[in-house]
Chains A and B, each alone.
Chain A
Amino acid sequence: MSSNAERRKTPRLRKEKRRAGNAFVYFLLALLGFLWILPIFYLLYTALRVRPSTGIINRLFPDGLRLGTDNFSRLFRETAFPLWLKNTLVVSVCSCAISTLFILMVSYALSRMRFRLRKPIMNVLLVLGMFPGFMSMIAVYFILKAMNLTDSLTALVLVYSGSAALSYYICKGFFDTIPRAMEEAALLDGANRLTVFFRVTLPLCRPVAVYTVVTTFIAPWCDFIFVNTIVHDSEKYTVALGLYRMINQDKSSFNDNFTVFCAGATVVGAIIVALFMSMQRYYVEGVTGGSVKG
């Protein structure tokens, strides 16, 4: 009896409870959202500030609130930023193409084909990926030097895409989830494996291909350690190294350059946002499909 009464009561009670709960969740989301967006806002604000005489980093409003595109025009006229931008674009397009191709090739071979050394190869790749990359940086530098390649964009492309095979894991996970039926049908129809790879499998794995393109494209925009070792000629800087050097070269240049640095960071951020926006739908699909499964 009592349980019957309870059951009748629950819908209303539950609704009220949920409403109270939702109010709390909204409050929490708003608070956290504020905390998360604040530094980004600070970045934009600093980028848009007209340079005051002092107190760039330790005053919020040194000479009152004055905004303008001062820093952006300084960034494009007085620094080598346009050149860095071009370098980064060249490097990231090339390394992205090579890396994506490599990753897809390795993933396909390890997911779809069965051969004697498959398991050992997977374990070896896993273990190799554990080695901190920049520990071998000095050796990489000398290998490039032996090839007469240091201080060139080619060297950067090679460094960013040379070890691409190590990041096959997510992509292979995605390949594993694609049913084989279609490929087998094509094979029965007499197509060879290469044709199947290009015509059947690749179109099916567009989400993860896009994910791979995005991640490999972004890498050169964010790395400054490898560039720092391999490139010494400021003509060959990438955006990341240029910006990093801008405020880390010496302490005195810091106050001068901080607003310009923020302007540069904003430009890079905008480029990456644009990339994400155009690829977002595939991106989420690609990650959740590949990296994780029971």
Chain B
Amino acid sequence: MNNRNRKNAENAPSEKRKTSAATKISFVLPGAGQMMRGQIVKGALYLLTTAAFVLYLSAFGGRYLMHLFSGHLGTKTAGEVWNDKLGIYEKVAGDNSFLILLYSVATVVVVAAFVVLWAMNVKGNFALDKLIAAGGKPPSFSEDVKTLFDEKLYVPLLLPPFIGLLVFTVMPLVFMTLIAFTDYDANHMPPGKLFGWVGLDNFRAMFSFSGGNGGFAAVFLRVLAWTFVWAFFATFTNYFFGLLLAMAINKKGIKGKKFWRTLFVVVIAVPQFVTLLLMQKILDNNGILNVLLGKEIHWLTDKSRFALLPRLSIILVNVWIGVPYTLLMCSGILMNIPEESYEAARIDGASPAQIFFKVTMPYMLHVTAPYLITQFVGNINNFNVIWLLTGGGPADNVYYGSASAQSTDLLVTWLYRLTTDQNPRYNIASVIGVVIFVVCAVLSLIAYNRSGAVKNEEEYQ
């Protein structure tokens, strides 16, 4: 609606407004209120959507909505049933817990979307009441559309991307989170067998130390600890070496700056999975590196000392992969550091080391804080490096037992292995996913909302 009209409505003497009949009807029949007051097209659109929604519920969604309250995810197992009339065994499709859950989630999303639409309809009707009471005229459809592409441009701008998000991120996310509360594993694979709700059992298994079915806690803590150690070292080695390299190239009097930069940045051009597979072959027990050294060093498979050597190798290879990116980013920012601050430090007699720690580092850390956080979270989820180099290995039954985790596994690679194993355990994998999600979300929410980039959002405008 128009800004001017709204202002009129607000300025109108505050007589006691009565909810009009049209608005009351629109509670039950979305769009009716608009149509009764001349907004034919808008009202018709609301009505049509409502009709489509009702049709969807009765033909398809309703069943799945009921399922959510039934407490189980299907009862009929697929199999063969004797058919007396025909005198043969007939194949019966049976229920599929997986699909039931998926469609239920989809239906909930559709219902939620409709509720939002309904609320918009009611709100619009109240606004119309106000407007008419103030003597305004309801905006025509073409006026509405015009507003949509002007003051409310954010609606058409955000809508298509958000529909994509809803289908390809939110729905799968909700779905996989729900799996964490079921017993979906190798013994409960639909359509052959069904799975059902088990409450918090999986979380209990994950966080308890006792043996038996559960008792993942010891393994979980080991993997979690390594995940953090890895993320810390991966982030900061890349950052420091990249920064130092950028400083070396940017140093006064160094010739061929462009050449040096290109030399390192070329590495980015080769896709990561290629360089990682290549590195894995180079570091292989029979690989080219060992051949050249004339020794057999198990770079990626040595189990001794908590798999220290593979862990170091991974971090080193990651430096090789990551430094060019940091270089690319840092060299631009370094040039922005005001020359005066260096000059002042030099006149005060600061040594190069002091200048680095007192001038360069604080500036860089201040400016690149958001980048560092993104990198840290990205490294917690860095699947490719670990998976392609060691595959999470070497396997070590002493420390990791039957939990399917291995020595260099991060939470994500452990999760992946649990779902692609001979005996997949989707439920436990989902628990890990929820944990990763919580850790990363908390970390980044705190960090982002504290960093200057968010606070001083409008600094440059």
Interface residues of A (CB under 8 A from B): 18-19, 21-22, 25-26, 28-29, 32-33, 35-37, 39-40, 42-43, 57-60, 102-103, 105-106, 108-109, 113, 115, 121, 123, 126-128, 130-132, 134-140, 142-143, 146, 158-159, 161-166, 169, 173, 176-180, 192-194, 197, 221-222, 224-225, 240, 243-244, 247, 258, 261-262, 265, 268-269, 272-273, 276, 284, 287-288, 291-294
Contacts and interface: CB of A to CB of B under 8 A. Distances in A.
A176 B281 contact: no
A142 B271 contact: no
Contacts of B169: 128, 131, 136, 162-163, 166
B437 A22 contact: no
B344 interface: no
B436 A269 contact: no
Interface stretch (B4-12, B79-87, B160-168): B160-168
B458 interface: yes
A116 B124 CA distance: 16
Contacts, number: 263
Nearest to A108: B157
A292 B269 contact: no
A269 B271 contact: yes
B53 interface: no
B297 interface: no
Interface of B: 98-99, 102-103, 106, 146, 149-151, 153-154, 157-158, 160-162, 164-165, 167-173, 175-176, 245, 248-249, 251-254, 260, 263-275, 277-279, 281-282, 284, 286-288, 290-292, 320, 323-324, 328-329, 332-333, 366-368, 370-371, 374, 377, 381, 383, 412, 415-416, 419, 426, 429-430, 433, 436-437, 440-441, 444-445, 448-449, 452-453, 456-461
* Top 7 closest pairs, chain A to chain B, by CB: A136-B172, A162-B168, A139-B172, A288-B332, A130-B440, A165-B161, A109-B154
A143 B169 CA distance: 11
A60 B150 contact: no
Nearest to B329: A287
B150 A192 contact: yes
A292 B367 contact: yes
B167 A105 contact: no
B167 A143 contact: yes
Nearest to A139: B172
A107 to B, nearest CB: 9
A178 B460 CA distance: 7
A248 B59 CA distance: 46
A294 B102 contact: no
A158 B168 contact: yes
8 contacts: A109-B158, A121-B158, A128-B173, A131-B440, A169-B370, A197-B153, A273-B269, A284-B328
A163 B168 CA distance: 6
B274 A57 contact: no
Contacts of B175: 136, 139
B260 A113 contact: no
B436 A132 contact: yes
Nearest to B279: A39
A147 to B, nearest CB: 9
Contacts of A169: 370, 374
Contact of A58 (B266, B275, B287): B287
A2 to B, nearest CB: 13
Given A37-B266, A39-B275, A139-B102, A194 B149 contact: yes
A134 B270 CA distance: 23
Contacts of A58: 284, 286-288, 290-291
B254 to A, nearest CB: 6
Contacts of B290: 58
Contacts of B367: 292-294
A60 B269 CA distance: 24
B173 A146 contact: no
Contacts of A142: 98-99, 102
A22 B161 contact: no
A272 B271 contact: yes
B445 to A, nearest CB: 7
B161 A102 contact: yes
